[in-house]
């Protein structure tokens, strides 16, 4: 047991306590898998990260550091809000990227590049594998969500490290009203990301959906909330009923929805409304076809932790 530098940050927001919190242990050397998992379970945050020196192979590829990412119940090969949050905490703690204006993170899926896009840091979405879900799988998940087949505009199994079943449904108010059977989703071992495109009158739809949404629609830092997509993430198989704001899911959704013409090459997504959050994710595809996932990060706690 020793004292280790620690930060807790809030990701995908520029206002503390409205995004997705992340615990960052800035010195993970010497910790066992069991110690990391136990600490992540103790924080009860959706993710906790541990910063380590890059492996020899990672260093040869340009990695500035290595990160291991844990939910309360499992380790993840990649996740978006821990990627942005860890990079922010590492820089705040004095970390200097090997290449100015760019940072390279080593994690379970390999090397992930981060850079500034439109004035905020963004990560390059890892390569996506996707396929149409089997009808039987989709039917069981829809029952667990309380949706009907005719509510769904498109569906894909998405894998960019984490696996998600992605659903695009027909209305924002229907999305915000969902009350999933989380026990059923856990039995099905399926994490589900559900999205709906925001139409011109979506502010009214959100305000009618629930009390939290009314409050955050009224107080949003962006007048009239011009985000283009509303997203919810249900992850019972890894111990999280609903994640406030999910970078890996938004990355894979963007790769799919842009490629299939459901969304434009640049858009923003709102997530966390039902949880009383106001997370915002900025998605864009560059001329080479790479999707970038950006968001603001703010620090909340800084000190040390004994592990």
Provide the CATH number for the domain around residue 211. Answer: 3.10.310.10
- Does 223 share its domain with 171? yes
- Does 135 share its domain with 113? no
d(CA 291, CA 298): 23
- Does 179 share its domain with 151? yes
Q: Domain range spanning residue 224?
A: 129-286
d(CA 247, CA 84): 9
Question: In angstroms, how far is CA 84 from the centroid of its own chain?
Answer: 9
Q: How many alpha carbons fall within 13 Å on the CB side of residue 181? A: 14
Residue 65 confidence (pLDDT) above 80: yes
- Does 183 share its domain with 61? no
Q: What are phi and psi of 237, to 5 degrees?
A: -60, -20
- Does 95 share its domain with 222? no
Nearest of 220, 208, 204, 200 to residue 272 by alpha carbon: 220
218 band by pLDDT with thresholds 50, 70 and 90? very low
CB 37 within 8 A of CB 76: no
How many structural domains does the chain have? Answer: 2
Residue 299 confidence (pLDDT) above 80: yes
Residue found under tokens 């910790």: 31
The total number of residues written for the chain in this structure: 307
- Does 176 share its domain with 245? yes
Instruction: Give this prediction's pTM.
Output: 0.89
d(CA 131, CA 270): 25
- Does 111 share its domain with 146? no
Residue 295 confidence (pLDDT) above 90: yes
User: What pLDDT does 238 receive?
Assistant: 87
d(CA 63, CA 59): 5
Nearest of 184, 290, 269, 266 to residue 225 by alpha carbon: 269
User: What pLDDT does 224 receive?
Assistant: 62
Residue found under tokens 């963007």: 254
Residue 137 confidence (pLDDT) above 60: yes
d(CA 69, CA 36): 9
- Does 279 share its domain with 156? yes
- Does 281 share its domain with 133? yes
- Does 145 share its domain with 85? no
Residue 93 confidence (pLDDT) above 80: yes
Residue 219 confidence (pLDDT) above 70: no
User: What pLDDT does 36 receive?
Assistant: 98
Q: Kindly report the number of other CB atoms within 10 A of residue 139's CB atom.
A: 12
Q: What is the dihedral of CA 119, 295, 174, 160, to 10 degrees?
A: 120
Once rounded to an integer, what is the mean pLDDT over residues 244-273?
97
Q: What is the mean pLDDT of the chain?
A: 92
Residue 207 confidence (pLDDT) above 60: no
Q: What are phi and psi of 205, to 5 degrees?
A: -60, -45
- Does 199 share its domain with 176? yes
Residue 184 confidence (pLDDT) above 60: yes
Compute the chain's Rg from CA coordinates: 19
214 band by pLDDT with thresholds 50, 70 and 90? very low
Tokens of 176: 């915000």
208 band by pLDDT with thresholds 50, 70 and 90? very low
């Amino acid at each position: 047991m020793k004292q280790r530098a620690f930060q807790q940050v809030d990701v995908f927001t520029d206002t503390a306590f409205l995004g997705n919190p992340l615990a960052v242990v800035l010195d993970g050397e010497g910790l066992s898998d069991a110690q990391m998992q136990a600490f992540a379970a103790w924080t009860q945050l959706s993710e906790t990260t541990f910063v380590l020196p890059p492996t020899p192979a990672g260093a040869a590829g340009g990695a500035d550091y290595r990160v291991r990412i844990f939910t309360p119940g499992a380790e993840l090969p990649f996740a978006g809000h821990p990627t942005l949050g860890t990079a922010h905490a590492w820089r705040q703690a004095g970390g200097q990227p090997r290449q100015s204006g760019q940072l390279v993170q080593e994690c379970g899926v390999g090397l992930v590049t981060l850079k500034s896009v439109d004035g905020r840091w963004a990560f390059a979405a890892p390569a996506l594998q996707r396929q149409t879900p089997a009808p039987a799988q989709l039917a069981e998940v829809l029952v667990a969500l309380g949706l009907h087949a005719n509510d769904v505009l498109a569906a894909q199994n998405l894998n960019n490290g984490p696996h998600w079943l992605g659903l695009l449904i027909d209305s924002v108010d229907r999305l915000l009203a969902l009350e999933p059977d989380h026990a059923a989703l856990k039995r099905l071992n399926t994490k589900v990301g559900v999205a709906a495109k925001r139409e011109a009158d979506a502010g009214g739809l959100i305000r009618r959906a629930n009390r939290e949404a009314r409050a955050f629609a009224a107080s949003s830092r962006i007048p009239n909330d011009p985000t283009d997509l509303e997203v919810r993430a249900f992850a019972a198989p890894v111990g999280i009923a609903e994640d406030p704001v999910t970078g890996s899911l938004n990355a894979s959704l963007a790769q799919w929805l842009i490629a299939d013409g459901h969304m434009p090459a640049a858009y923003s997504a709102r997530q966390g409304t039902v949880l009383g959050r106001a997370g915002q994710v900025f998605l864009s595809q560059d001329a080479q076809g790479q999707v970038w996932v950006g968001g603001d990060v703010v620090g909340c706690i800084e000190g040390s932790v004994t592990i």
